Structure 1
Amino acid sequence: MMAADDITSSRRMRTDSAGESERSCGFVQPGGHGGSGDTWRRHIVRQLKNRDRNQSDSFQDLIHFYSRLLDKSSWTNGILSRRPFTESSSVSSLLNQNDQLKKTTGELAFQVLELQQQIKIKLLVLDEQDSSLLAERRRLAGAFDVRQELQGRAVQVQEENGALKMEYDVLLERQKGAETRLREEKVREEQMLEDMIHLKQKAASRMNSRNERRSRAREANLQKELQSAARSKVAIDSSSSAPTSRSTSPKKEDQDKSAEPRHTRLFRSASATSPRILTSIRELFDRKRRGHSVCSLEEDQMSPVGICLSARVPARALQVLEAHEQGINTVRFSSSSDLLATGGTDRVIKLWEVRAGSLTHRATLEGSTEGITCVDFDSAGCRILAASYDKSALLWRLDDSVPKLTLTGHSRKVTAARFSPLLHQVVTGSADRTIRLWDLHRAACVQVVDVASYCSDLVCSENFIISGHYDHKIRVWDTRAVSCVQEIPAQGRVTSLDLSSDHRQLLSCCRDDCLQLVDLRRWSHERSSFRAEGFKCGSDSTKAVISPDGCFLAAGSADGSVYIWNLSTGGLETRLPDKHSSSISAVSWSPSGEYVVSVDKSRRAVLWSDI
């Protein structure tokens, strides 16, 4: 109760001091009446109350504890005043209570100090939070500025995108128009090409009919001449060759002539069976037949081909040379064995003369726009055929470096091209899954055979075509019926085919690192397999060959070695290493049986022999 009175008195003192300050400042008008002075007084009193309230709130806990302490103290004093002091136990208990009160008062004072220290710490933390809040507000204002700038840039980019979209739409419309015009031009081009071909065919037919009429007229004239010559009579005077006597009188001579019978006989100025007439008729028909042909009379003649009785197994390299500027894909000997052709990815065919165990460059055949995949000589050895990556096959004469004929029609690369045993025909196989038969007289495709798989290689015999494919099958085609008569299964993807010189055995090389020899004389097609340790088929176009005597097989491996098998024993005859630095792509055995040539992907060609 004393504490409450003290607080009330302190408040009164503050109010009185405030009133005195007001009066001293002259805010109160004389007479003590209300007005502006009362207003200022109330305002100052309100401010003082607010200050008192704010200050008392900070020490409210202390006041509360102090009031409790005062209450306990007054309660203790009242107890002591009501009880007598004669009892020693009561006095001791009271003393203990006083000690406890003192302890409690000290603890409360310590708690007050701790609370004040915590208040200071919290005030510091609050200041730090205020400063960080101010920094965050500044950052937020900067972020707002950046956001506004980005929004402006986004609007600008959207406008630019809109302009680009409009330009794109315009270009798209132009492209569509250009594509439409291109299609129209292509249609016109195809139509013009068809019209031109039609006109060419008409002109060719007119020319052929004109030439036919001329040849018939010449034949009729020749027949008439022959008939008139056969009917004509020639008088022969038998005495014209005898010596006459100058003493004989003309009169007597006339009488003698008139008296002697006149000797006459039929004389044929030219016989229809005479060699001269036969030669002229043959030349006439040859000129007629070759009027529109790409072949010459010399090319039509078959040259004799030597027969190899025993092939030599090569034992050493006679010559190693860099034959091309890029990798070599194919190699082939001519039928006379004195000429070699190589073709590679550098788009040329090189001809080499084989003399005395060495290769000498003879000529370079150009004209292909892409790499060469296969080469083949005709039976006469005066023409060469090549397959190319440019979807065509090309024909050269050996005395001309410019192609004499280009066969186009395949839609993908041509992988094989061979001369047919029939004159003036060639066969091509392609990655477009077709096999085509071409007539060189007309320079046109006469047969197209659709195949179910990629054609990797083919060989030709009379009336038959044998092709190897990626679907692990070898197909036999009858050109007369234009149909597949038999399918021979293989153990892997077929990379090459080769026929023996007697056309009785077929060699196939597959990607399963195995060579198979098929006997074509038997309907069951008995097969023999040839493998060797270390032999590996290096690519999808690796070429293997049969020796000209049919006793050996030769193939190049991915390790750069040439492997040769013996057909009689079925085992490996020999292995020729260390001359190639990369995978061997093709091997060719000369028809004479004397030489073997191997080529690889690193431009190298090696001539092998047993000499």
Structure 2
Amino acid sequence: MESVPASIETYKTLKPSKTLRYHHNDPITSLDFDDTGAYAVTAGTDESIQLYSAHKGTHQRSSYSKKYGAHLARFTHNSMSIVYASTKEDDTIRYLSLHDNSYIRYFRGHKDKVHALNVSPISDVLLSASMDHTVRLWDLRSPHCQGVLNLVSPNLIAFDPRGLCFGVANTSAQDLSLYSVSAWGSDPFATFALPAPPGDGWASVEFSNDGKYILLATYGEQHHVIDAFTGNLTHKLVGHHPLRRDQDNMRGGSTHTAFSVDGRTVFGCSRDGKIIVWDLQDRVDERGRLYPSKALNCAPNAASPQILGVNPASMQLATADKELTFWLPEKDVAEPPKEA
């Protein structure tokens, strides 16, 4: 897969290039790329973890977590190791080597389901958020929790692109607090009031790679982009068909929206089976709404994607429902997507 210069016009040509089915027709609940963009990993309700070559669009290997379940599989800075959350038995976070399918470490402390997991972009630091209303900080080199925030409700979490701070979006208080990683235990250095989420509430929070914006995805008819420095609402992303929050929130902590690598574009899943492209440099209307610059068509007869990921090193997307689909610019898609 060749490197393609990032541009909004190239993003608008993305097409499905390969579809892979390795979760036994069960829902995929999380999707992640490694730092190099060479690999992707998924976890699903079939209690399996699947590793893929993003460059080749091929399946590499399977791992199973039948006793504990698997969700929120996230690469560490080693492409052959991940962390993931349990879905049954206990609420432990597991650190797994994909090379030999052996556990490196366990992170114990949460008293309820872990619904968000985030690895620092620059270090071996891990953030987790749980239905026990806590956010915990971990060091991958130690099994002991490095710090705990006791909050009033479940929260969404995200590191900034430099790994110096992290955001905690409180869904009940409708605010976003920014904390310094180096001053863990201190009060947030900034707190922004958030607009009320439309539909069934917030789905995820993400910083753009240039650090300018924070994206708050929802289950409603608007996603919100705010200024990361002032907290001001800059864009109301509209024009998509909202996804429905699943009854058991089995995809909680996963995202159906994502920034492009350059931070100019936002991609989002739409219930009509399309991938929506918003260009943040387009003009918003008098009500602050930004309409799509393009709607990308999924493969014929494909299910509507429910989660989405952006390759950090190339012009590639991945989407998933019960199958994983890689997307490439049109010039790199020589034939209809093949299924495995």
Q: Under TM normalisation by the shorter chain, which class is it? A: 0.7 to 0.9
- Residue 316 (structure 2) aligned to one of 595, 606, 610: 595
Aligned: 1:573 with 2:268: no
Query: Aligned runs of 1:286-301 on 2, under 5 Å?
Result: none
| AA partner of residue 120 (structure 2) | S
Q: 1:369 to 1:500 in 2, by over 3 A?
A: farther
- Residue 365 (structure 1) aligned to one of 63, 73, 79: 63
Off by >6 Å, runs of 4+ in structure 1: none
Distance 2:294 2:220 in 1: 21
Query: Aligned runs of 1:255-334 on 2, under 5 Å?
Result: 309-310=6-7, 312-313=10-11, 314-325=13-24, 326-334=26-34
Query: Aligned runs of 1:109-128 on 2, under 5 Å?
Result: none
Distance 1:551 1:422 in 2: 22
Superposed displacement of residue 605, structure 1: 1.5
1:316 aligned counterpart, secondary structure: strand
Give the corresponding residue for 1:335. Answer: 35
- For residues 77-100 of structure 1, give each alpha carbon's deviation from its aligned partner in whole angstroms, at most 9, with x where no partner exists: xxxxxxxxxxxxxxxxxxxxxxxx
The TM-score normalised by the length of structure 2 is: 0.79
Q: 1:504 to 1:379 in 2, by over 3 A?
A: farther
| AA partner of residue 314 (structure 2) | G
Give the corresponding residue for 1:489. Answer: 194
| AA partner of residue 337 (structure 1) | G
Give the corresponding residue for 1:257. Answer: none
Distance 1:387 1:543 in 2: 19
Distance 1:490 1:349 in 2: 36
- Residue 425 (structure 1) aligned to one of 112, 125, 130: 125
Distance 2:144 2:4 in 1: 34
Query: Aligned runs of 1:321-470 on 2, under 5 Å?
Result: 321-325=20-24, 326-355=26-55, 358-367=56-65, 369-390=67-88, 391-421=91-121, 423-460=123-160, 461-470=162-171
Superposed displacement of residue 562, structure 1: 1.5
- Residue 508 (structure 1) aligned to one of 216, 220, 226: 216
Superposed displacement of residue 426, structure 1: 1.1
Structure 1 or 2: larger strand share? 2
- For residues 197-226 of structure 1, give each alpha carbon's deviation from its aligned partner in whole angstroms, at most 9, with x where no partner exists: xxxxxxxxxxxxxxxxxxxxxxxxxxxxxx
Number of residue equivalences: 300
- 8 Å CA contact 2:20, 2:59 repeated in 1: no
Q: 1:487 to 1:352 in 2, by over 3 A?
A: same
Superposed displacement of residue 554, structure 1: 0.8
Q: 1:571 to 1:351 in 2, by over 3 A?
A: same
Superposed displacement of residue 506, structure 1: 1.4
Q: 1:466 to 1:308 in 2, by over 3 A?
A: farther
Distance 2:43 2:294 in 1: 27
Give the corresponding residue for 1:528. Answer: 235
Structure 1 or 2: larger helix share? 1
Give the corresponding residue for 2:264. Answer: 551
Superposed displacement of residue 481, structure 1: 4.4
Distance 1:475 1:308 in 2: 35
- 8 Å CA contact 2:268, 2:308 repeated in 1: yes
Aligned: 1:606 with 2:325: yes
Q: 1:421 to 1:515 in 2, by over 3 A?
A: same
1:340 aligned counterpart, secondary structure: strand
Give the corresponding residue for 1:563. Answer: 276
Distance 1:320 1:307 in 2: 21
- For residues 49-80 of structure 1, give each alpha carbon's deviation from its aligned partner in whole angstroms, at most 9, with x where no partner exists: xxxxxxxxxxxxxxxxxxxxxxxxxxxxxxxx
User: Which 10-residue stretch deviates more, 459-468 or 448-457?
Assistant: 459-468
Say which one has the larger Rg: 1
Structure 2 unaligned residues grouped into runs of 5+: 283-289, 333-340
| AA partner of residue 470 (structure 1) | T
| AA partner of residue 20 (structure 2) | L
Percent identical: 19
Give the corresponding residue for 2:337. Answer: none
Q: 1:577 to 1:370 in 2, by over 3 A?
A: farther
Q: 1:560 to 1:323 in 2, by over 3 A?
A: farther
Superposed displacement of residue 545, structure 1: 0.6
Structure 1 unaligned residues grouped into runs of 5+: 1-305
Superposed displacement of residue 343, structure 1: 1.1
Distance 1:564 1:417 in 2: 26
Q: With CA pairs under 8 Å and 6+ residues apart, which has the higher RCO, 1 or 2?
A: 2
Superposed displacement of residue 329, structure 1: 1.0
Superposed displacement of residue 478, structure 1: 2.9
Superposed displacement of residue 551, structure 1: 1.6
Superposed displacement of residue 607, structure 1: 1.4
- 8 Å CA contact 1:433, 1:453 repeated in 2: yes
Q: Indicate the RMSD between aligned Cα atoms, in angstroms.
A: 2.5
